[in-house]
Amino acid sequence: MIDETKIHYIFMEDCIKSVKRGIPTQRLNEENEESIEVPFIGVKAVQEGYVDTENVDWVKIHDKDAIKKATVNTGDLILTLRGSYIKAAVADNSVDGYAISANLIALTLTKKIKPEIVAAYLNGPVGQRELNKRAGGTVMFSLTLGSLKKVPIPVKSIEEQEVLLRFIKLSSEYRMNLVRELELWDNMRESFIVKRLGI
């Protein structure tokens, strides 16, 4: 039984059930009869907590084994390994069966902790500090699987996780609605200015 008055941590390696690595760049867009066109998640598609399907590319790949090893399933935790900051997202039904790029890693977690909670923690200030401490580089960070496994993750009871999960889902939906509204406002503003200027 977890004592709720204390913060309990487990290392990331204790949460990982399996690891999927991305497809190297040199294997992309291979033009031959046996190539398969697959939806491909790159770094730009990984947002804080979710995968932006509008930024998913389609590529041709010949190596079926590479595709299989890089295919994500619903509930997988996806992380960028390189960039100005490390981002974490959770694969939902919309990207089930998609492949990931070489700069990403996908983790299937054990039932100890919900992937949405891990993503929210890693995207937050405390999680970012823990990632940055273990990542190489100063401007562009680079994180290895070995370093990632040593990141401490706070864990609560399953009941507490369910409460937190509901909040994360509601706040994510709210944020996405705000983004859509902002895009709509930008489009309306631009359209009005263009019309008034007669350009």
Q: Do residue 48 and residue 67 come from a single domain?
A: yes
Is 119 contained in some domain?
A: yes
Angle at 11 between CA 21 and CA 106, to 5 degrees: 20
Q: Do residue 151 and residue 164 come from a single domain?
A: no
Mean pLDDT over 113-132 rounds to: 94
Q: Do residue 166 and residue 134 come from a single domain?
A: no
Q: What is the domain range of residue 172?
A: 157-199
CATH code of 118's domain: 3.90.220.20
Q: Do residue 144 and residue 172 come from a single domain?
A: no
Q: Do residue 129 and residue 149 come from a single domain?
A: yes
Percent of the chain with pLDDT over 90: 51
Is 13 contained in some domain?
A: yes
Q: Do residue 103 and residue 52 come from a single domain?
A: yes
Instruction: Give the pLDDT score at 30.
Output: 62
Query: Closest Cα partner for 112 from 17, 4, 7, 6?
Result: 17
pLDDT in tens, 16-40: 999 999 987 766 666 666 788 889 9
Is 48 contained in some domain?
A: yes
Query: Closest Cα partner for 13 from 118, 91, 83, 98?
Result: 118
d(CA 169, CA 161): 12
d(CA 13, CA 134): 14
| Three-class DSSP labels, 38-56 | EEEECHHHECCECECHHHC
Is 198 contained in some domain?
A: yes
Is 95 contained in some domain?
A: yes
Is 3 contained in some domain?
A: no
Q: How confident is the model at residue 84 (pLDDT cuts 50, 70, 90)?
A: confident
Mean pLDDT over 146-155 rounds to: 94
Q: Do residue 81 and residue 131 come from a single domain?
A: yes
Q: How confident is the model at residue 77 (pLDDT cuts 50, 70, 90)?
A: very high
Q: Is residue 5 pLDDT above 60, yes or no? A: no
d(CA 173, CA 54): 17
Is 172 contained in some domain?
A: yes
Q: Do residue 126 and residue 197 come from a single domain?
A: no
The lowest-confidence range among 44-53, 125-134, 167-176 is 167-176
Q: Do residue 120 and residue 27 come from a single domain?
A: yes
CB atoms within 10 A of CB 106: 24
The chain-wide mean pLDDT, for the chain, equals 88
Higher pLDDT, residue 131 or 137? 131
Asked if residue 112 lies in contact with residue 20, where contact means CB atoms within 8 angstroms, the answer is no
Q: b vs e for 8-47, b when ≥16 Cβ sit within 10 Å of the residue's Cβ?
A: eeeebeebbeeebebbeeebbeeeeeeeeebbbbbbebbb
Mean pLDDT over 74-92 rounds to: 93
d(CA 105, CA 72): 10
Q: Do residue 147 and residue 65 come from a single domain?
A: yes
The count of structural domains within the chain is 2
Q: Do residue 63 and residue 106 come from a single domain?
A: yes
Higher pLDDT, residue 36 or 12? 12
Mean pLDDT over 131-152 rounds to: 87
Is 49 contained in some domain?
A: yes
DSSP state of 13: G
Q: Do residue 25 and residue 14 come from a single domain?
A: yes
Q: How confident is the model at residue 173 (pLDDT cuts 50, 70, 90)?
A: confident
d(CA 58, CA 173): 26
Instruction: Give the pLDDT score at 2.
Output: 42
